[in-house]
Amino acid sequence: MDRGKDETGLGMWSWYRIRGEPGCRSRIVSAYAPTGNKDSDYGSYFKQIHRYIQKKGLRTTPKAFFREALCKELRHWRSLGDRLVLLMDANENVIDGVMVKMMAKPDIGLREAVHSQTVGPGPNTHIRGSQSIDGVWYTPELEVVGAAYLPFQKDLGDHRIPGADITADSLLGRNLPKVAPAKARRLNSKSGKSCDEYIRLMEKSTDECRIYDRLLELKGQKEPDSVADFTGEEANDILEIIDQKMTMLMLDAEKKCRKLYAAHYEFSPAVKCWLDRCHAYQGLIRLEQARLKMEFNDTKQVTTMNVGNIKHAARRSKIERAY
């Protein structure tokens, strides 16, 4: 995934590009158009762009500079064949604003999502405003199945958040690269039972294959069965053989240390319900066994298990008189 921002360093926009099937690239852009005048605060976004314009000796205004720079970049991205999604506080009407009309021209071809789904002027998107100034724009290759403005939320700021539902097929394509799922490993360090069985199998295999004896022979602490001395090259060859054998023994022990039970049935709420109930009963049985072993009068006295989780599982499974 590629990412970037405007070259001026003013923070006018940022973007990231995602790749789907071969030849399908979509670029997501987040932009903020300036608003203000000569009386704006010195540290405001509008004044920052104004100082940049003066430093470069340009004859333009912050708003015009932003419009021209963004549209130039959008045209460049379209020439590369990118599909575009632009999320922007335009600080102008998203239906008939100057920049909106520039972006709607064929060389860019952006369309605002919310107003393409719902006819009308739309609500004010700034809490003190009177018109829609925020929006999501998209290019014709993308399929929008729904779009709307969210209600004002104090925690999210003083703007309505626009949202658009874009199909994954139009954004990424249909023939996506397959992701190979990671296979479950039988050896799990958190499972004491599987670790003990793995160690037992490894000890048995290394004894049968005389791994330790062969290492002692190489070290010279034990007379070899067939040869008395080893050259350096012979020793390296033998160590390589031992290493390959150890790898085979480890893989074989891991295959046998624990059984994996695959679920050969489709997901079913009813099956999940009964599986959860079985697991809840198993937890209750273990809890009662621990209570009897420790000779406690109440399961609450058991500290070696999470009693609360066991009881919560029983409640969720609707097991009556479980405790």
Same domain, 89 and 136: yes
Q: Is 197 within the bounds of a domain?
A: yes
Among 256, 289, 307, give the residue marking a domain's end: 256
pLDDT at residue 46 is higher than 70: yes
Q: In this predicted model, what pLDDT tens digit does every residue of 209-237 receive, in sequence order? A: 999 888 888 777 655 454 446 667 788 88
Q: What's the mean pLDDT in 264-269?
A: 76
Q: Is 29 within the bounds of a domain?
A: yes
pLDDT category, 21, cuts 50, 70, 90? confident
* Structural domain range at position 289: 269-316
Q: In this predicted model, what pLDDT tens digit does every residue of 92-115 receive, in sequence order? A: 999 999 999 999 999 999 999 999
Same domain, 52 and 86: yes
Average pLDDT, the chain: 88
Same domain, 45 and 12: yes
Same domain, 157 and 103: yes
Task: Give the chain as a 3 state SS string.
Answer: CEEEECCCCCCCEEEEEEECCCCCEEEEEEEECCCCCCCCCCCCHHHHHHHHHHHHCCCCCHHHHHHHHHHHHHHHHHHCCCEEEEEEECCCCCCCCHHHHHHCCCCCCCEEHHHHHCCCCCCCCECCCCCCCEEEEECCCCCEEEEEECCCCHHHCCECCEEEEECHHHHHCCCCCCCCCCCCCCCCCCCHHHHHHHHHHHHHHHHHCCHHHHHHHHHCCCCCCCCCCCCHHHHHHHHHHHHHHHHHHHHHHHHHCCCCCCCCCCCCHHHHHHHHHHHHHHHHHHHHHHHHHHCCCCHHHCCCCCHHHHHHHHHHCCCCCCC
pLDDT category, 23, cuts 50, 70, 90? confident
Same domain, 140 and 41: yes
Same domain, 91 and 231: no
Domain count, the chain: 3
pLDDT category, 322, cuts 50, 70, 90? low
Same domain, 19 and 74: yes
Same domain, 130 and 212: no
